[in-house]
Amino acid sequence: MKQYQLFINGAFVPNGSREMADVINPATEEVIGQVPKATEADVAAAVDAAYEAQKSWGKLPAVERANYLFELAQLVEDNQELFAQTNTAEMGKRICESRDEAGWLAEYLRFYARQARHIKGEIITSDRPNENIFLYKKPIGVCAGIMPWNFPLFLIGRKVAPALVAGDTVVLKPSSDSPMGCYEFAKLVEQSSLPAGVINVVSGGGALVGNALSGNEKVALVTMTGSTPVGKQIMKNAADHVARVSLELGGKAPVIVMADCDLDATIENIFNSRFLNCGQVCNAAERVYVQAPIYDEFVAKMTERIARATYGDPLDDSVDMGPMVNRRQVEIVMDLVNSAKEEGAKIVVGGNAPTDKKGYWMEPTLIVDCKHEMRVMTEEIFGPVLPVAKFETLDEAIEMANDSTYGLTSSIHTTDHDTVMRALNEINFGEIYVNREHFEAFQGFHAGVRQSGLGGDDGEHGLEEFLETHVAYVDWK
């Protein structure tokens, strides 16, 4: 069993008398590792280290900071299999998906390293003679990166890469369900030539470590991915010292399937958007509205597709899904499935959480004849469950799609140009996918509206979150 240590100011801190937390393999329920529960003093030490390190880190030319990101990317790539095995063991993702995720981490570090020469200010015309107004883009300072358990490797990239190239330093807090990958990353940081204090890692529950981090007044930006209630708590903590927040929270992505779509391609796109990572993805297809003329055919084809989906040992590449992350998540998802039954929907595939062997298993599930108001159509389902409802007109579908407290991703499947244009203009979600699966690109902008978040990740606009605008008025005569 692996034991990890807090990583503060470039060094691992002996665990001493700190309480330790078990990490459980969700496919076997075995304890596979232990991580320390940081104290408030540990969190303060990590933030102090990041604060001190930022003073010189922020003065380096961005292109020099980028070189450290390239170095880390290479180290991650050299250790891709270790990351993949760790990820699958601690959160149950299929090994092929874990390998992909480790690869994304390396490539994401490189993506932002390449942005180093693109951090730009502005010169603005003044109202006065012989004066220039300069806008500078400067680092924010210390960023707290609070991470979920569903993409524990890739999310390291989202929190670290733009911060470092912008000149900020970071304290990472991994989820208690999947902290080991983040500590494996810390080992590479220790081996690298990155200056001490630029990246720090503290583990422990959100109630203590998360609150202490987001409430620390030396933290200038809290960038968090996770649930909406925790996002709200972080906003409150950050408000106490007027820190910025960038929040990527839950979703309830609507999928509109028009009668004129390419049905076979649509079935495959929706399947991939729902069952990746056992349905535990914020951008996943969460509720499907199918136009009446093709409703029965859609249900028949989707039934066939989901019925042949398999789940099991996530180390076996041939299965479609591994386990869910923990027992609690299975219970939350089963509660929603049961609510759909009680509210009159029909379960046509799956619907059970098998308990005949160790692990946190959930059958791939299709629920049809749902109504827009049902819980299963309005509450986030972080699991392998696809609810489907029928609609008649595009107006009706757009109205139901927009009727949500969430606003992260959405999609429409159609071959009609006018329908696409109406959807782009009228569906009010941070992201819309047309005739494809839900999944974002590094160079895009991953951001939710309404209670799905504030700010956003990726691309040039994601980098802006980690920079501050300062202005200088210069009389040069």
Ligand X SMILES: O=C(O)[C@@H](O)[C@@H]1OC[C@H](O)[C@H]1O
Ligand Y SMILES: NC(=O)C1=CN([C@@H]2O[C@H](COP(=O)(O)OP(=O)(O)OC[C@H]3O[C@@H](n4cnc5c(N)ncnc54)[C@H](OP(=O)(O)O)[C@@H]3O)[C@@H](O)[C@H]2O)C=CC1
Footprint on this chain of ligand Y (rule: CB under 6 A): 146-150, 173, 175-176, 205-207, 210-211, 214, 225-227, 230, 233-234, 248-250, 282, 329, 332, 380, 382
Q: What are phi and psi of 206, to 5 degrees?
A: -60, -35
Q: What is the CA radius of gyration of the chain?
A: 23
Selection from ligand X, ligand Y, none that 440 binds (CB < 5 to 8 A by kind) is ligand X
Strand 285-291: give its sheet, edge to edge.
Answer: 346-349, 365-368, 385-391, 285-291, 253-257, 409-413, 431-434
Q: Residue 262: name the closest of 394, 414, 108 by CA.
A: 414
DSSP state of 207: I
> Could you say whether residue 406 binds ligand X (CB under 6 A)?
no
Is residue 100 at the binding interface for ligand X, with CB under 6 A as the rule?
no
Q: By 3-state DSSP, what share of the chain in percent is helix, strand and coil, each rounded to 5?
A: 40, 25, 35
- Please say if 248 is a catalytic residue: yes
Say which residues have a Cβ less than 8 Å from residue 39's Cβ, sequence separation at least 6.
18, 208
Residue 154, binding choice from ligand Y, ligand X, none, Cβ under 5 to 8 Å by partner class:
ligand X
- Interface region with ligand X, contact rule CB under 6 A, candidates 26-34, 70-78, 83-91, 281-289: 281-289
Write the DSSP assignment of 90-114 as a string of letters: HH---HHHHHHHHHHHHHHHHHHHT
User: Which among 67, 17, 320 has a CA at the least distance from the CA of 192?
Assistant: 67
Taking CA atoms, 366 is separated from 81, 138, 187, 370, in Å, by: 34, 49, 42, 11
Nearer to ligand X, 54 or 411 (CB): 411
Residue (249 or 261) nearer to ligand Y, CB:
249
Q: Which stretch binds ligand X (CB under 6 A): 27-35, 149-157, 311-319, 351-359?
A: 149-157
Q: Compute CA distances 9 → 53, 109, 190, 218, 221, whole Å.
A: 8, 21, 10, 15, 19
CB of 130 to ligand Y, least distance (A): 50
Single residue of 30, 107, 343, 440 touching ligand X by CB under 6 A: 440
With CB under 6 A as the contact rule, the residue among 69, 281, 367, 397 that binds ligand X is: 281
Q: How far apart are CB 28 and ligand Y at their closest, in Å?
A: 20
Is residue 154 involved in binding ligand X (CB under 6 A)? yes
Site map (CB under 6 A) of ligand X, residues 283-322, x = contact? x---------------------------------------
Binding of residue 87 to ligand X (CB under 6 A): no
Closest approach of ligand Y to the CB of residue 281, in Å: 7
Q: Cβ 8 to ligand Y, closest distance in Å?
A: 18
**What burial class does residue 130 get, using C-beta atoms within 10 Å of its C-beta: 0-12 exposed, 13-18 middle, 19+ buried?**
exposed
The one catalytic residue among 248, 286, 379, 464: 248
Residue sitting closest to ligand X (CB): 282
Query: Which bin fits 49, alpha (ψ -120 to 50), beta or left (φ > 0)?
Result: alpha
230 binds, among ligand Y, ligand X, none (CB under 5 to 8 A by kind): ligand Y
Q: Under the rule (CB under 6 A), what is the footprint of ligand X?
A: 148, 150-151, 154, 225, 248, 281-283, 440
Active site residues: 248
